[in-house]
Chains A and B, each alone.
Chain A
Amino acid sequence: MTDQAYNFAYLDEQTKRMIRRAILKGLAIPGYQVPFASREMPMPYGWGTGGVQVSAATLTPEDTLKVIDQGADDTTNAVSIRKFFERTAGVATTTSTRAASLIQTRHRIPEEDLTEDQILVYQVPIPEPLRFLEPRETETRKMHSLEEYGLMHVKLYEDISRHGHIATSYAYPVRVEGRYVMDPSPIPKFDNPKMEMPAIQLFGAGREQRIYAVPPYTEVVSLDFEDHPFDPSKAPHACGLCGAEDSYLDEVITDDEGGRMFVCSDTDYCECRRAAGHCGPQFPEAAA
């Protein structure tokens, strides 16, 4: 039984302690990027090594884990990380947002409101919101410590001058509790307003070795201009399967003749609605 060679949730206790210290520091300074000694994980960078380490350090044997990738429970990334923790931690897993106590996510916040008993763990590729404008880490750290965030607006200015509106649609920069400007990871800007929530939000970037956090009920403001206010836009359609009009939609190409449909990106939300009797225009049973 090779599985028995692992400690609970793969990482050794010293490593988990180190990560928990970083998490606590992150929670104490909302939005601040805490450096941590990221470990090699048995999966490639970009697959959520940061999120996995944060989850491993927060998991307890009583937890119920849910993993989503772009809102879906059944894509490669979600399935493999869920299996990883089933094997190494033996925790219960679920696809139901309501039943989960710990949710690791990539690129989405679940549609259903989270509660104070839940933790949301984000996978972050590049934690530094200023990176594409200022490549020097020494300089960006100084900008954070001195609250020099004019540059972030230069990015938004460029968007408007080129496209006529703020074209940044994901990883939309936010300011946390009036202090740190933070990259909310590549979630659609539709999800930005949801970040003021009762659940704890933890962000892990494995390759970049940074952990940051947003405590419950923390103020999270999306940056904008007075005359170009923040707009959490979504596709102007209803879900083809469940008919929801308030959820974030994926556009799915259905054939090579221009056929397409819009469906909820949050699969659990869509399934729950269908189970409750809601029906969209393109649901197979509705057509039959």
Chain B
Amino acid sequence: MTPLLDVKGIAKRYGRHIGCADVSFDLWPGEVMGIVGESGSGKSTLLNCLAGHLAPDAGEVWFDTRVDGPKDTLKMGEPERRMLSRTDWAFVHQHARDGLRMGVSAGGNVGERLMAVGARNYGTIRHQAIDWLGRVEISEERVDDRPTTFSGGMQQRLQIARNLVTGPRLVFMDEPTGGLDVSVQARLLDLLRGLVRDMGLSAIVVTHDLAVVRLLADRLMVMKDGQVVETGLTDQVLDDPQHGYTQLLVSSVLQV
């Protein structure tokens, strides 16, 4: 079996400051990888380098494409990479506003990716949009409303529907539950877990919330100052942290 994503020695510097340094890992089909660490530890830089939003200074990102097998996405041409990012990849932003078109109705938002890959039948597009709104628990009546009229949690769910409608194989998530209150977070996590399991998605989830990775992630990577300090199975890392920083992180979680 080939890994879905094979990351080798990714490094990104911002002048003298290190974004992330020498990160390598494999992601297998159907696996969810969590990346945790404090603010400024390079989590988002790494995610953006992997998703092609930032150009890393060094390293390779091999993705197992449907047609040609493993390919280094950093060496791909831009048309191919952009095609990948609207078919096999998905990116869920922390702020739904970054990932949605706020001036376009919910149905249009979900349908955009379908139309981007060539769907030209209004009825089919609308049907699929409504189907996906249902899967993320948004009622059919809201299909023609703009996301500006949605609550934060609904916007986030709409963003997820918009990303998953083309059946991607790899989802990048940047703090998917950031800025939501706890009960909404819980529902969103429940929903995400269901979707990831049902669709057999692979995902990379960046978060500073250990509860999120406990629920979603199979494996965990802990980052500090741009370096990976510890990796392992989620339960193993969280229940028996080895590195000093991980121990600090785990013990910092408030117990209610």
Say yes or no: A157 contacts B82, CB within 8 Å. no
Binds B, one of A2-10, A143-151, A209-217, A241-249: A143-151
Docked Cα-Cα span, A153 to B104, in Å, equals 12
Give A residues with C-beta under 8 Å from B: 133, 142, 146, 148, 150-151, 153-154, 157-158, 160-162, 225-228
Docked Cα-Cα span, A162 to B103, in Å, equals 13
Is B120 at the interface (CB under 8 A from chain A)? Answer: yes
Docked Cα-Cα span, A226 to B115, in Å, equals 12
Say yes or no: A157 contacts B108, CB within 8 Å. yes
- Interface SS of chain B: helix, strand, loop or mixed? helix
Say yes or no: A161 contacts B107, CB within 8 Å. yes
Say yes or no: A133 contacts B82, CB within 8 Å. no
- Cβ-defined partner of A226 (8 Å) among B78, B113, B117, B121: B121
Docked Cα-Cα span, A135 to B22, in Å, equals 37
Is B116 at the interface (CB under 8 A from chain A)? Answer: yes
Residues of chain A lying within 8 A (CB to CB) of residue B78: 142, 146
Give B residues with C-beta under 8 Å from A: 78-79, 82, 101, 103-105, 107-108, 111-113, 115-118, 120-123, 125-126, 143-144
Residues of chain A lying within 8 A (CB to CB) of residue B117: 150
Say yes or no: B115 contacts A161, CB within 8 Å. no
Say yes or no: B79 contacts A157, CB within 8 Å. no
Say yes or no: A161 contacts B126, CB within 8 Å. yes
- Cβ-defined partner of A161 (8 Å) among B82, B105, B121: B105
Say yes or no: B120 contacts A158, CB within 8 Å. no
Residue ID in chain A nearest B109 by CB atoms: A154
| B148–chain A nearest beta-carbon distance, Å | 14
Say yes or no: A158 contacts B121, CB within 8 Å. no
16 A-B pairs in the complex with CB atoms less than 8 angstroms apart: A148-B116, A150-B117, A151-B116, A153-B115, A154-B115, A157-B122, A157-B126, A158-B104, A158-B108, A161-B107, A161-B126, A161-B143, A225-B120, A225-B122, A226-B120, A227-B122
Residue ID in chain B nearest A150 by CB atoms: B116
| A223–chain B nearest beta-carbon distance, Å | 9
